[in-house]
Amino acid sequence: MIPTLEVVLGSSRYYACEVCGMIYADSDTARSCESWCSAHGSCNMEITKRAIGKIRRAGLRLR
């Protein structure tokens, strides 16, 4: 199982793809995004349309 980056804002927990930084409400979608991004070097529009935001952090980029 691929670990995902957990984002905590107040009392809410969200999950981010560590490859592209898209944030999702559930960890399964974040894992799907991370798997796709890692395998293809791009984002999948069917997955990213469920994103609720995007994080920016140093070193975060598509591989």
pLDDT, tens digit, for every residue of 44-57?
999 999 999 998 76
pLDDT, tens digit, for every residue of 26-47?
999 999 999 999 999 999 999 9
Residue 63 or 38, more confident: 38
Q: What is the DSSP string of 3-61?
A: --EEEEETTEEEEE-TTT-EEESSHHHHHHHHHHHHHHSS--HHHHTT--EE---TT--
Output the pTM of the full model.
0.81
How far is Cα 39 from Cα 42, in angstroms, rounded to an integer?
8
The whole-angstrom distance between residue 16's C-alpha and the CA centroid of its chain comes to 3
Residue 49 contacts residue 7 (beta carbons within 8 Å)? no
